[in-house]
Amino acid sequence: MLEREIHIGIAFATGRKSFQNVLNAYIYHLQESMLLKDRNVHLHLLVAYDLAYAGTVLSDYTSVRPGVLEQFTTVTFLGEDDIDRTAQSLVQSGVIEAKEADLCFGNGYASKRNILLYTALKKGLDYLIFLDDDEYPMAVTESKNSTLWSGQHVLEAHLKYLRTSDMTNGYHCGYISPIPYMEFDNVMTAQDFQIFIEALSNDILNWDEIKKVIDNGGITYADKEVLIEQAASLVPEVNGAKFITGGNLGINLTDPAKVFAFYNPPGARGEDTFLSTCLHEVNVKRIPAYTFHDGFSIYSCLLQGVLPTRLKRIGSVDSEEIIRRFYNACIGWVRYKPLYTFLTRPKEYVQIMKDMKEKLKATLPKISAYFNVSEFANIESEFIRYESRVQEHLSQFIKTKEIWERVKQSIDLASKEST
């Protein structure tokens, strides 16, 4: 007896035309395996695109190669107008109120991930796999004389483990951290930078891990044991959160009760971080599938088969763009840390916020001087602004979860009415 048909969504929330090359790479890997030959497996492509992020046009996303396109049973592209129409349809049908629409389907990457989730649920897909447009299906390890590369069957690994999990999350290597390689001096010592990182740190971001990355020239290498053993493990819960990442992420849609909305405070990132706090009753597995994060967009040649024998150190003196990326990441971290801390360490919240303010005040002048960028001083004011609004953001987060439950229920009711 044949296994039942399985419908898998491959989802991108993207603003780069390079997503096409990444998509091609994943399909080529699938063609190498036997998955595409299984007539019971149906792939569906879902893309939520942002034309403003990098000045792209619609055709940068929709002009998928015919040989790639034919691998999908359905293809769906969702722009800003499509998200607005979906939100207005839910308002008109009485599922949500007009003032609630922005919480689930407003601006930012949380709303793009939510529209992809909503569309996948409406289509009745079994699984949805989120891929990032700057992560490639390969792993890099360090040997004595050179780097070693291995292809990764990312989609196959998610499919294998989603059958017995609510959520699957793979590993990441490459340029994961936005923190560049730095040589410390009397302007900013290693201790100064450690204090600064401790101010921003949480259960996910911490000095010990950051120091390893800096010492490696900004590079995170794949764990050889993970590649060899090929074993999955349960993601542990730490302070009420099971850490997951927004990319290389699989979600089992067959039990909608365990499918949660993404949220981030306005103007911040961290939508995967806040999703992590919703997963108490969710079976989350870390699966043995790596993606290479090309965080500085310098290794697109990997997708053309050019495998460097050494990876570059990404130093803060290399370009203004690298410093800008680090600055933007710091702004993002301080914007979401107050709410994340309130959710995960409520009893320690007041003291943690006090310590954070003191550490920022002590180190930001040195950070600004080291990078010769006065804007780093803005980090303190952004922290004060978001810390003062933590109760507002908490209310938004709670409301987003309530709205999402109504949205899911409306899909279930519509499905029952159509049968």
Q: What secondary structure does DSSP assign to 299-315, as a single string?
A: -GGGGGT---SSPPP-B
Domain that holds residue 369: 182-215+315-388
Residue 261's nearest CA partner among 104, 84, 112 is 104
Rounded CA separation 59/70 (Å):
18
Quick one: 86 and 10 in the same domain?
yes
Domain check: are 250 and 369 in the same one?
no
Question: Residue for token digits 């978001």?
Answer: 386
Residues 157 and 285 reside in one and the same domain: yes
- Look up residue 173 and give its two tokens: 């290597």
The answer to whether position 397 is within a domain reads no
Distances (CA, A) of 236 to 2, 244, 271, 277, 287: 35, 10, 19, 12, 13
Q: Is residue 395 part of a domain?
A: no
Paired tokens of 328: 């933007």
Supply the pTM of this predicted model.
Answer: 0.94
Residue 318 φ then ψ, to 5°: -70, -40
What the block records as the tokens of 92 is 């008109």
| Same-domain pairing of 340 and 363 | yes
Q: Is residue 159 part of a domain?
A: yes
Per the structure, how many domains does the chain have? 2
Q: How far apart are CA 395 and CA 109, in angstroms?
A: 19
Output the CA–CA distances (angstroms, integers) from residue 418 to 122, 140, 366, 411, 413, in the order listed. Answer: 12, 49, 63, 11, 9
Residues 111 and 128 placed together within one structural domain of the fold:
yes
CATH number at residue 49: 3.90.550
The residue ranges of the chain whose pLDDT is under 50 are 1-2, 416-419
Q: Quick one: pLDDT at residue 318? A: 59
CB atoms within 10 A of CB 347: 7
Q: In terms of domains, do 414 and 376 share one?
A: no
Q: Are residues 229 and 256 in the same domain?
A: yes
The DSSP output letter for 285 is: E
Is the domain of 104 the same as that of 187?
no
Clarify whether residues 350 and 257 are in a common domain. no
59: exposed, middle or buried (Cβ count in 10 Å: 0-12, 13-18, 19+):
exposed
Question: Which pLDDT does position 419 carry in this prediction?
Answer: 28
Distance separating alpha carbons of residues 291 and 132, to the nearest angstrom: 9
DSSP character string of 28-92:
HHHHHSSGGG-TTEEEEEEEEE-TTTTT--THHHH---HHHHTTEEEEEEE-HHHHHHHHHHHHH
- pLDDT at position 147, please? 93
Q: In sequence order, what are the beta bridge partners of 168? A: 250, 285
If one counts every other C-beta atom within 10 angstroms of the C-beta of residue 95, the result is 19
Closest by CA to 303, choosing from 172, 136, 133, is 136
DSSP-H helix ranges across 292-373: 320-344, 349-371
Can you give the pLDDT at residue 137?
Answer: 96
- pLDDT the model gives residue 213: 84
pLDDT at 417: 43
Residues 195 and 298 occupy one common structural domain: no
- Looking at the fold, whether 175 and 224 belong to one and the same domain comes out as yes
- Among 195, 193, 199, smallest CA distance to 180 is for 193
Asked whether residue 331 is assigned to any structural domain, the reply reads yes
